């Protein structure tokens, strides 16, 4: 059974966040190739001792499943772009599709938070393109999930109505997520702002 029609802005959000995620992932793949071909040359994203993607790319955390993490991003971020374009074209998807889509969003949000913890507490450097991916995965997950709870999971109408109403306040959850990450970064890199500005 086809699901409800989705708001146009949700489709646009999926497309924009997916495209930026693809850009970040693609750029990290290029940087990895540069590291392989010129191992001694600093990468474009090696900005200072605190902001540098080289150590992250070369870490075991940067290839958690035996291949570079950005390859996951290249495949995964194509999904919200395709879904967003489909929604703009008037497509309606079944509940099982949205459940699988949200499972992918859940994997993404857990994975980027795990990577954030690893880069801050274990590796000790911040990867700028990784942070770009984090920045856009967070609203993709929160807005996508709340929208699905309100429109696509077949919840009882009282619960679905609550989540549809909550959608306009989802920016607060996104903001809190951002602020927690910023606080963690600044508490572990207290000199970061002095180096950047």
State the total domains in the chain.
1
What tens digit of pLDDT does each residue of 3-56 get? 678 899 999 999 999 999 999 999 999 999 998 898 888 888 998 888 999 999
- 1 domain-assigned: no
Task: Domain of residue 158: give its range.
Answer: 8-196
Q: Would you say residue 67 has pLDDT above 80?
A: yes
DSSP 63: G
Alpha carbons 92 and 46: distance in angstroms, whole number: 44
User: pLDDT by residue (tens digit) across 84-130?
Assistant: 999 999 999 999 999 999 999 999 999 999 999 999 999 999 999 99
pLDDT category at 192 given cuts 50, 70, 90 is: confident
The crossing angle, in degrees rounded to 10, of helices 8-37 and 128-151 is 150
**What distance in Å separates the CA atoms of residue 197 and residue 119, rounded to the nearest whole number?**
22
What is the DSSP code (8-state) at residue 119? I
Alpha-carbon gap, residue 156 to 5, rounded angstroms: 17
- Orientation angle between helical segments 95-117 and 128-151, nearest 10 degrees: 150
In a domain, 3, yes or no: no
Is 110 a member of any domain? yes
Most distant pair of Cα atoms in the chain: their distance: 60
pTM for the whole structure:
0.93
Q: What is the CATH number of the domain that holds 40?
A: 1.20.1440.130
Beta bridge partners of 127: none
Q: Does residue 36 lie in a domain region?
A: yes
In a domain, 136, yes or no: yes
CA atoms of 139 and 51, how far apart (whole Å): 23
Closest CA to 175 of 186, 163, 165, 183: 183
Domain assignment present for residue 93? The answer is yes
Dist. CA 99–CA 3, nearest whole Å: 12
Beta bridge partners of 2: 94
H or E, element range at 47: none
Taken in order 140, 179, 181, 127, is the CA torsion positive or negative?
Answer: positive
Instruction: Look at residue 57 and tell me if it is in a domain.
Output: yes
Q: What pairs with residue 51 in β-bridges? A: 126
pLDDT bracket for residue 197 (50, 70, 90): low
Domain assignment of residue 133, yes or no: yes
């Amino acid at each position: 059974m086809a699901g409800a029609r989705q708001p146009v802005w949700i489709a646009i959000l999926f497309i924009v966040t997916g495209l930026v995620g693809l850009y970040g992932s693609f750029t990290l793949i290029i940087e990895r190739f540069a590291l392989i071909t010129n191992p001694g040359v600093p990468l474009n994203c090696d900005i200072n001792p605190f902001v540098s993607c080289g150590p992250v790319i070369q870490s075991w955390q940067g290839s958690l499943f035996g291949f570079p993490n950005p390859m996951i991003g290249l495949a995964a971020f194509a999904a919200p772009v395709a879904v967003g374009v489909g929604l703009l074209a008037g497509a309606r998807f079944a509940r099982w599709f949205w459940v699988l889509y949200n499972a992918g969003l859940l994997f993404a949000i857990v994975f980027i938070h795990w990577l954030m913890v690893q880069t801050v507490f274990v590796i000790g450097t911040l990867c700028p393109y990784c942070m770009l991916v984090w920045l856009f995965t967070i609203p993709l997950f929160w807005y996508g999930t709340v929208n699905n709870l309100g429109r696509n999971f077949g919840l009882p109408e009282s619960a679905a109505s609550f989540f549809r109403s909550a959608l306009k306040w989802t920016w607060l959850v996104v903001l809190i997520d951002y602020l927690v990450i910023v606080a963690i970064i600044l508490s572990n890199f207290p000199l970061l702002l002095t180096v950047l500005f």
